[in-house]
Amino acid sequence: MKTTKQIMGIAVLLFVMFIPQNMEAQFWKKVAKTAERAAEKTVLKKTEEKVSKKTSKTIDDTVDGKPKKNKKNKKSKKNKKENGAIISSENKGKNDVNTVENIEPSFAAYSKFDFIAGENIIAFEDFSQDEIGDLPARWNSSNSAEVVTLSNEEGRFIQIGAGTGSYVPEFIDEFPDNFTLEYDVVFDYDVSEYAYQRDLMVVFSDVENPGYELQDHTPGKNGFVFAIRGGNSYGGKVDVHKYCSDSKLNLSSDKQIAQLDKKNNSRGEKMHVSIWKQKQRMRVYIDEKKVFDIPRAFEKATILKNVKFFSQTKPENTFYYIGNIRYAVGKPDMRNKLITEGKLITYGITFDTGKASVKSESYGTIKKIAKVLSDNPSIKVLITGHTDKDGDETSNKKLSKRRAMSVKNVLVNEFGIDVSRLKTDGKGESEPISKESTPEAKAKNRRVEFKKL
């Protein structure tokens, strides 16, 4: 029989042969687990830092330096894009550095954009004469609103929040057969989240007194409504509605747009709305897309007398921002002005403040001018830029020269006009059409002129 010492020796030998291998396996498993947990902690920490950073960047933080304290609102904004209105002023500056002003914009997306602004500017609103935090002085309203600034957009906007009511630009009081209305709009809400109502409309009607029926989005007997609707967790849409004294002539149409798709969620990004009336016909564009073209938007006997914005929003911390409202009348006769009269003044070619790059929504106007030049290959023209009197005279003159050169480059590069036919100049603020300091006067002075040589 084996002795106790022999048995103990065998046990020790087994321990030495087998147990260390198990311990080694357990040791490396522990190392792997530890590394995995460390990695998880690092990822979680980075994620929390990013979420915290994004959460703090809300539009409310940029509105006159008065951030909202609603926790739910902060939570709903943590996934917004950094190229929307939530960009901080620090990031905005960095983006501006990367913007090369002399590079002409790509007009590829605008190749079918045929909108042409009215010939004469009647009204322009940039809220430059209003105090931040106040209701605009030239507006009537049945709901609260205030003038604000946004971190990623130049200029000022009117902020429209929760509630139901009208916002009436009383300075627009002329409604001929042909007119155009343009404005920028930014929405601040998540289209993928449920809401009872998130609607912003522009309403044209036959109501003579602009103070009548402020709580009604279909005032009077006849009218036309264009609406942006934020959606109820399934994304948003836009629609139009014609209403008449004879209800059998009423019509409605709606359409999905990419900006309000819940997958895109263009929260904080500016949309440019262009509305063009030609007698009974009404066309509506959002950015480069024509979303509606209604040939009988109005009955022949309808006489428009009023325009207003109307909002219906139920959730708190839901906002629309409207800015750069431009209203122009008349049908531009570019061919006759340039070929017969020898001079064409256009307000349809626009630029960002202090910059020379042509804005994309100018495409329709430049395309029309290019067609006139192509049809008349023997004429040569002088393109002259003009600015308002904001800023110093020397800088404005230089800017106007660069703007004229940008227009020339677009005509040459996008439409194939022979460069030898085009000359450029810039007058800055030296030849104003109006010497007043109103927003309308400044808008009239910011122009591009084409003169036949």
Beta bridge partners of 343: 451
Q: Mean pLDDT throughout 40-52?
A: 41
Q: What is the pLDDT of residue 321?
A: 98
Q: Does the structure show a pLDDT above 70 at 344?
A: yes
The whole-angstrom separation of Cα 262 and Cα 55 is: 19
Q: Does the structure show a pLDDT above 60 at 452?
A: yes
Q: What is the DSSP letter of 55?
A: H
The whole-angstrom separation of Cα 347 and Cα 283 is: 19
Q: Does the structure show a pLDDT above 50 at 434?
A: yes
The answer to whether residues 103 and 357 touch, using CB atoms and an 8 Å cutoff, is: yes
Strands (E), 287-440: 289-294, 306-313, 319-329, 343-346, 381-386, 422-428
Q: Does the structure show a pLDDT above 50 at 331?
A: yes
Percent of the chain with pLDDT over 70: 76
Query: 435: pLDDT confidence band, cut at 50, 70 and 90?
Result: very high
The whole-angstrom separation of Cα 414 and Cα 417 is: 8
For residue 278, with 0-12 CB atoms within 10 Å meaning exposed, 13-18 middle and 19 or more buried, which class applies? Answer: middle
Q: Does the structure show a pLDDT above 60 at 120?
A: yes
Considering 41-45, 91-95, 161-165, 191-195, the range whose residues carry the highest mean pLDDT is 161-165
Tokens of 171: 């300075």
Q: Does the structure show a pLDDT above 90 at 21?
A: no
Tokens of 293: 């073209």
Strands (E), 134-177: 139-141, 145-150, 153-160, 163-169
Three-state SS for 64? Answer: coil
What are φ and ψ of residue 361, in 5° steps? -70, -5
In 3D space, the residue among 185, 326, 181, 353 whose CA is nearest the CA of residue 266 turns out to be 185
Q: How many CB atoms lie within 10 A of CB 147?
A: 23
Q: What is the pLDDT of residue 90?
A: 33
The answer to whether residues 165 and 143 touch, using CB atoms and an 8 Å cutoff, is: yes
